[in-house]
Amino acid sequence: MDNLSTQALLRLMVFAIALPFLLPGLDIVGELVFDETHYVPAAKSLLSLTENRNPEHPLFAKEMIAAGLFLFGDNAYGWRLPGVMMSAFGLVACFEIAFRTFSSVKLALLTVVLLFTSISFVVQARTAMLDTYTYPLLAISCALLMISAAPRRRFTTSTILLILSGVCLGLATGAKWIAGIYAILALVFMIGQRIYRAFHDGRPATHAFFGRGFSSWPKFSLITAGLLFGLPSLIAYIATYLPTLYLQRDPLNGIGGIIEFHLRMIELQTMPLAANSYESDWWSWPLLLKPIWYHFEATEGGGNRAIFYVGNPVVYWGGLIALLVCLVEGLRRKAAVPFRIGLAFLASWLTFAVLPKQIGFLFYYHGSAMIMCFVVAAAISLAPAGRVRTGLYWTTLAASTAVFAYFVPVIYALEMVEDQWLRYVWLPSWP
């Protein structure tokens, strides 16, 4: 089997292994949990073209839930199955990103295992919410963008991949606006990298934008690549609002109506909100000070069922140590990849420190937690080769998997005996 076939098989394996862990028992809780109570009714209204019941957010995630309702009915599989499938594809995309970032199958597999066993990823994948679609679509967009940038990629293939990447970004932003902010951060990085390479190679400054022959997208100028990526993204984003033109109640009037709707969304997202028992500050998210019980119920046998959106402490808390390693050692050794991954995490997390949102929740950290898995893998890559690095690799993998297994009852809402749920309350702020 050649190298290309092996790589394709690995990606297929990631997808095939993910589904048996994401799919089982989607209907164990046959009622809406946490913010599903907002988004599923909104999806029903979009499916019937009645009204836009959730005007403070874009539409695409709710449209995907509506597609699930149309295909599988108004039940747990209709609400949640599309998100599970999107998350499985997102895992494959993360493998692709990690493989191209580290140039190592071993580190790419570690990254995916950490993602899967981070607990929060699986819980979110099985819940019909906006973030369930936003971050997998972002990962898919990023993976396609990286593939398109390969130096030996054919012009036509790179063009198609750039367009597809842009479409996925538009849909991710159409699920939740935070995707657009990630795109801006990535754009700033790419422009900076092109400018640096232009000066490093002794080229005029204009070559950073109009020149060709760079290591990434060598057949394109940055302007051309940006248009091939950006225009499809904008078109895909606008297309997600087409159903609002045909609503029975308060339909939007063309592009002008869509623009007015965006102004209304901005107003709704920045207005003061009522206090919530699960709200938390951005700085507390890596410390896991306020996880969220997405669902909790008493069972007929006197026990409980629960769904707990919490991060795996091995990834979340251990990741903070890994972050320091990537930043300090990456800078000291001039190891660009670990240092940039550390900066990517900081940019993702600290974005929420400046956003004009009145309240925050742990699931706002979802994208940053996904990047943290890359941070851990990058830190391990900095360990001395041989027994030390191998030991860290397998110890991290085993510890993360063991903690995930311990939390299984509150990940999959399995029936627990009375007070068993208290075993998963590790801090006083967790009940």
What is the per-residue pLDDT across 117-174, written as a single tens digit (0 to 9) for each?
999 999 999 999 999 999 999 999 999 999 998 888 888 999 999 999 999 999 999 9
Confidence of residue 106 (pLDDT cuts 50, 70, 90): very high
Say which DSSP state 27 is in.
T
Among 124, 123, 133, residue whose Cα is nearest residue 62:
133
Residue 253 near residue 244, CB atoms below 8 Å: no
Write phi, then psi, for 307 (nearest 5 degrees): -125, 120
Contacts of 417 (CB under 8 A, 6+ apart): 302, 303
pLDDT at 1: 45
**Single pTM value for the model:** 0.93
Cα 291 from Cα 424, distance rounded (Å): 11
pLDDT at 311: 96
pLDDT at 328: 96
Q: Stretch 352-367: mean pLDDT, rounded?
A: 87
Q: When comparing pLDDT for 274 and 362, which is higher?
A: 362
pLDDT at 221: 87
Contacts 24+ apart (CB under 8 A), 37-40: 39/65, 39/128, 39/129, 39/130, 40/65, 40/69, 40/79, 40/128
Cα 131 from Cα 125, distance rounded (Å): 9
| Residue 135 CA to its chain's centroid (Å) | 2
pLDDT at 45: 95
**DSSP states along 398-411:** HHHHHHHHHTHHHH
Among 72, 71, 61, 66, residue whose Cα is nearest residue 46:
66
Cα 273 from Cα 56, distance rounded (Å): 12
Bridge partners of 296, per DSSP, are 306
| Residue 216 CA to its chain's centroid (Å) | 24
Q: Stretch 81-102: mean pLDDT, rounded?
A: 96
Q: Stretch 356-375: mean pLDDT, rounded?
A: 91
Tokens (6 digits) for 46: 């979009």
Residue 426 scores a pLDDT above 90? yes
Confidence of residue 341 (pLDDT cuts 50, 70, 90): very high
Tokens (6 digits) for 360: 């925050």
Cα 256 from Cα 238, distance rounded (Å): 12
Beta-strand ranges (E) seen in 219-315 are: 292-298, 304-309
Q: Stretch 23-52: mean pLDDT, rounded?
A: 94
Tokens (6 digits) for 70: 């149309």
Cα 15 from Cα 347, distance rounded (Å): 29
Write phi, then psi, for 309 (nearest 5 degrees): -85, 100
pLDDT at 232: 95
Cα 6 from Cα 200, distance rounded (Å): 36
pLDDT at 3: 64
Among 420, 390, 370, 382, residue whose Cα is nearest residue 178:
370
